Amino acid sequence: MTTAATKAGTRTAKAKPATMAQALGRALRDAMAEDPAVHVLGEDVGTLGGVFRITDGLAKEFGDDRCTDTPLAEAGILGAAVGMAMYGLRPVVEMQFDAFAYPAFEQLMSHVAKMRNRTGGAMPLPITVRVPYGGGIGGVEHHSDSSEAYYMATPGLHVVTPATVDDAYGLLRASIASDDPVVFLEPKRLYWSKADWSPETPAAVGPIGEAVVRRTGRSATLITYGPSLPVCMEAAEAAVAEGWDLEVVDLRSLVPFDDETVAASVRRTGRAVVVHESPGFGGPGGEIAARITERCFHHLEAPVLRVAGFDIPYPPPMLERHHLPGVDRVLDAVARLQWEADS
Amino acid sequence: MTVQELPGAATYRPTPPPAWKPITDPAPLLPDPEPYRVLGTDAIADVDPELLLRLHAELVRGRRYNTQATALTKQGRLAVYPSSTGQEACEIAAALVLEERDWLFPSYRDTLAAVARGLDPVEALTLLRGDRHTGYDPREHRIAPLCTPLATQLPHAVGLAHAARLKGDDVVALAMVGDGGTSEGDFHEALNFAAVWKAPVVFLVQNNGFAISVPLAKQTAAPSLAHKAVGYGMPGRLVDGNDAPAVHQVLSEAVARARRGGGPTLIEAVTYRMEAHTNADDATRYRVDSEIEAWRAHDPVQLLERELTGRGLLDDEGIAQAKEAAERMAAALRDRMNADPELVPMDLFTHVYAEQTSQLQEQAAALRAELDAEQDHDHSAEEGR
Ligand SMILES: Cc1ncc(C[n+]2csc(CCOP(=O)(O)OP(=O)(O)O)c2C)c(N)n1
Could you say which of A1, A83, A103 has the minimum Cβ distance to residue B163?
Answer: A83
When scoring B152, B156, B177 by the number of chain A Cβ atoms within 10 A, the one with the most, hence best to mutate, is: B156
d(CA A97, CA A101) in angstroms, rounded, equals 7
Chain B residues closer than 8 Å to A124 by CB:
354
Q: Is the pLDDT of residue A143 over 90?
A: yes
What is the predicted pLDDT for the residue at A201? 59
Percent of all residues in chain B with a pLDDT value above 70, rounded to a whole number: 97
pLDDT at position B260 over 80: yes
| Residue B140 DSSP code | H
- Estimate to the nearest angstrom the gap between the alpha carbon of B114 and the chain centroid: 9
Whether the CB of B88 sits within 6 Å of ligand 1: no
Higher pLDDT, B359 or A339: B359
B2 versus B228: the higher-pLDDT residue is B228
* CA B243 to each of CA B55, B240, B296: distance values in angstroms, whole numbers, following the listed order: 10, 6, 13
Checking if the pLDDT of A281 tops 80, the result is yes
List A39, A111, A143, A158, catalytic entry = A143
Buried residues in B124-160 as b, exposed as e (16+ CB within 10 A): bbbbbbebbbbbbebeebbbbbbbebbbbbbbbbbbb
Q: Note the pLDDT tens digit of each residue in B80-112.
A: 999 999 999 999 999 999 999 999 999 999 999
Tell me the pLDDT of chain B averaged across its residues.
94
Backbone angles phi, psi at B28, to 5 degrees: -65, -15
B289 or A200: which leads in pLDDT: B289
Q: What is the mean pLDDT of residues A273-298?
A: 98
- For residues A203 and A166, is the Cβ–Cβ distance under 8 A? yes
Strand B214-215 to B210-211 pairing? antiparallel
By the 8 A CB rule, do B327 and B335 touch?
A: no
Q: Is the pLDDT of residue A310 over 90?
A: yes
Q: Which of A309, A305, A333 is nearest to A322 (CA)?
A: A309
Average pLDDT over residues A198-219: 84
The pLDDT, as a whole number, for residue A17 is 86
Q: CA–CA separation, A193 vs A191, rounded Å?
A: 6
DSSP lists the bridge partners of residue B210 as: B215
CA distance B112 to B225: 23
Distance between CA atoms of residues B303 and B312, nearest Å: 14
Handedness of CA A267, A268, A271, A277 (dihedral sign): negative
| Mean of the per-residue pLDDT values of chain A | 93
Q: How confident is the model at residue A2 (pLDDT cuts 50, 70, 90)?
A: very low
Verify whether the Cβ–Cβ distance A124 to B358 is below 8 Å. no
Q: Looking at A268-282, B13-27, B277-291, which range is the least confident one?
A: B13-27
Q: Nearest 5 degrees, angle CA A93-CA A150-CA A208?
A: 60
Q: What is the per-residue pLDDT for B6?
A: 58
- State residue A1's pLDDT score: 35
Q: Give the residue, out of B212, B225, B271, B295, with the most ligand 1 atoms within 8 A of its beta carbon, to mutate for a pocket test.
A: B212
State how far the Cα of A252 lies from the Cα of A303, in Å rounded to an integer.
24
Average pLDDT in the B245-268 region? Answer: 98
- B342 pLDDT exceeds 70? yes
For ligand 1, say whether the CB of B178 is within 6 Å of any of its atoms. Answer: yes
Omega before A313 within 30 of 0, i.e. cis: no
The per-residue b/e assignment along B285-301, b for 16 or more CB within 10 angstroms, e otherwise, is: eebeeeeeeebeeebbb
For residues A323-340, average pLDDT? 93
Q: Quote the CA–CA distance of B350 and B363 in Å, as a whole number.
A: 12
Residue A115 scores a pLDDT above 60: yes
Residue B156 pLDDT exceeds 50: yes
- The two beta strands, A128-133 and A182-187, are parallel
**b (16+ CB within 10 A) / e for A252-269:** bbbbbbbbebbbbbbeeb
Q: Once rounded to an integer, what is the mean pLDDT over residues A85-113?
A: 98
Burial class of B61 by CB neighbour count within 10 A (0 to 12, 13 to 18, 19+): buried
Read off the pLDDT of residues B209-240 as tens digits, 9 standing for 90 and up. 999 999 999 999 999 999 999 999 999 999 99
Residue that wins the pLDDT comparison between A28 and A196 = A28
Where does the pLDDT of residue A11 fall: very low under 50, low under 70, confident under 90, or very high at 90 and above? very low
Whether the per-residue pLDDT at B7 is higher than 70: the answer is no
Average pLDDT estimate for A120-132: 98
For the question of residue B273 being annotated catalytic, the response is: yes
Ramachandran quadrant class, A93 (left: phi over 0; alpha: psi -120 to 50; beta: rest): beta
* Contact (Cβ atoms closer than 8 angstroms) between residue A108 and residue A78: yes
The residue type of A295 is R
3-state secondary structure chain A: CCCCCCCCCCCCCCCEEEEHHHHHHHHHHHHHHHCCCEEEEECCCCCCCCCCCCCCCHHHHHCCCCEEECCCCHHHHHHHHHHHHHCCCEEEEECCCHHHCHHHHHHHHHHHCCHHHHCCCCCCCCCEEEEEECCCCCCCCCCCCCCHHHHHCCCCCEEECCCCHHHHHHHHHHHHHCCCCEEEEEEHHHCCCEEEECCCCCCCCCCCCCCEEEECCCCEEEEECHHHHHHHHHHHHHHHHHCCCEEEEECCEEECCCHHHHHHHHHHHCCEEEEEEEECCCCHHHHHHHHHHHHHHHHCCCCCEEEEECCCCCCCHHHHHHHCCCHHHHHHHHHCCCHHHHC
- What per-residue confidence (pLDDT) applies to B5? 57
Question: What would the pLDDT profile of A12-38 be if each residue is shown by its tens digit?
Answer: 467 888 999 999 999 999 999 999 999
pLDDT computed for residue A202 by the predictor = 61
**In the predicted model, is pLDDT for residue A337 greater than 50?**
yes
Partner residues linked to A246 by β-bridges: A220
Q: Is B64 helix (H, G, I), strand (E, B) or coil?
A: helix
Looking at residue B1, what is its pLDDT?
Answer: 42
Is the pLDDT reported for residue A65 higher than 80?
yes
Q: Summarize the confidence of residues B289-306 as an average pLDDT.
A: 96
A63: left (phi over 0), alpha (psi -120 to 50) or beta: left
**Minimum-distance ligand 1 atom for the alpha carbon of B184:** 1
- Per-residue confidence (pLDDT) for residue B325, from 0 to 100: 97
CA distance B236 to B264: 9
The number of the ligand 1 atom at minimal distance from the alpha carbon of B149 is 26
The whole-number pLDDT of residue A9 equals 40
- The percentage of residues in chain A with a pLDDT greater than 90, rounded to a whole number, is 89
Of B137, B352, B359, the CB nearest to A156: B352
Q: Between chains, do A87 and B164 touch, taking CB under 8 Å as contact?
A: yes
pLDDT value, residue A158:
98
